[in-house]
Structure 1
């Protein structure tokens, strides 16, 4: 939502509150029992105005917080990527490295899909995988997948090739696919550029960590639901109506109080 639209929505809500205030000021021309009706109408007008005009602005609050964090220098965002081993990761690395705001790109691990292991097969892979390649930093065997963590400067294609060579030697077949887990670190100010760059290649970050995402998450957690926010706006309408109802009593009382205070100072 652009600034002009936000200003228009705020002005329209304020106009509605002026209308509610005017209704409250008509209390002296109404029977006392009609005050409840005035408050109900004020609540409905406040709730409707909040739902139509303030709620869209309220929903933009996380984006406003994110924009503020993006403007802060030296902030970093970490993007966790799940990539297909069929893509040209070297070309992707080269493209990302040449983009302003790049900090680092690391192929962290690969996940190789397998069949559903029985207990004997699971135990066998638990014992043997660590001996296939010394560049396997760590590994984890699930019921149907093998996840291998990679040493620094060791690529996913090298890891997949070494595992595939061993697999062909033992089972007589090849493995040509794995899911590559990569970690991309960028300047917060350039996050949108990198997200767009990745999206053009059909890549969406699995998760993002950093000041921007943390601020957005904290803001989302602290925000009211749309229903709660609408009820609060209805309550604002009631408060404005009450001020209008008792304004004729409050203003003279305030003037008497100021006069009393001034007289006391003079003494």
Structure 2
């Protein structure tokens, strides 16, 4: 929501509250029983104004906090990516590294889908995978897949090729697909640019960590629901109506207080 629209919505809500205040001031011309009706009308007007004018502004609060975090120096966002080995990861990395705000891009592990292992096959792969390539830092054998953690500066394409070569020798078949788990670190101020580059390739981060995401999560967890916020706005309407009803009593008290303070200073 742009600033002009925000100002207009706030102005319209204030006008509604002025109207509620004016209704409250008419209390002296009404029977005492009508006060409850005035408060009910004030609650409804406050709720309607909150739902139509303040709620859209309130929903933008995470984005406001988000924008503030982007301006802070040295803030970084970490994006966890699940990539298909069929995409050109080297080209993606070069594209990302050429963008302002790039920090690092590391291919951490690959996940190779297999068949449903029986116990003997599971034990066999658990013993043999670590000996296929010295750049396999670690490995985990699942029920129907193999996850291999890569050494630093070792690419997923190299890891998949070495595994496929071994698999060809043993099983006379090829492995051509794996899911690549990578970690991208960028400046918070450039987060949108990198997110757009990924979206153009159909890539969505499976997890994001950093000040921006933390601020969004914290803000969302502390915010009221739309219904709760609307009820609070209705309560504001009731408070404004009370001020209008008792303004004749409040003004003299305020004047007496100011006069008392002035006289006290003179002494």
Match of 2:57 in 1: 57
Q: 1:140, 1:201 → 2: CA distance? A: 29
1:211 CA displacement: 1.0
**Ranges in structure 1 where 5+ consecutive residues have no aligned partner:** none
* CA-CA distance at 1:28 after TM superposition: 0.5
| 1:71-110 equivalences in 2 (<5 Å) | 71-110=71-110
In the alignment, structure 1 residue 172 sits paired with structure 2 residue 172? yes
* Aligned match of 2:151: 151
TM-score in terms of structure 1 length = 0.96
Structure 1 distance, partners of 2:138, 2:11, is 60
* Aligned partner of residue 106 in structure 2, secondary structure: strand
1:59-97 alpha-carbon deviations (Å, 9 max, x no partner):
111111111111112111111111110111111111111
- Give the aligned partner of residue 127 of structure 2: 127
Give the distance between the partners of 2:134 and 2:163, measured in 1 at CA. 11
Q: In the alignment, which residue of structure 2 is the partner of 1:255? A: 255
Say whether residues 1:161 and 2:161 are aligned partners: yes
Q: Per the alignment, do residues 150 and 6 of structure 1 end up closer, same or farther by CA in structure 2, a change over 3 Å counting? A: same
Aligned: 1:236 with 2:217: no
Cα gap change, 1:154 to 1:265, in 2 (>3 Å): closer
Unaligned 5+ runs, structure 2: none
Alignment of 1:178-193 (within 5 A): 178-193=178-193
Partner of 1:66: 66
1:111 counterpart residue number: 111
Q: Structure 2: how far apart are the matches of 1:152 and 1:163?
A: 17
Structure 1 moving runs of 4+ over 3 Å: 260-267
Deviation at 1:119, TM superposition (A): 2.1
Equivalent residue number for residue 9 of structure 2: 9
Aligned length: 267
Structure 2 CA distance for aligned equivalents of residues 194 and 265 of structure 1: 62
Hey, what's the Cα distance between the residues in 1 that align with 2:264 and 2:66? 53
Quote how far apart the aligned CAs of 1:265 are.
4.5
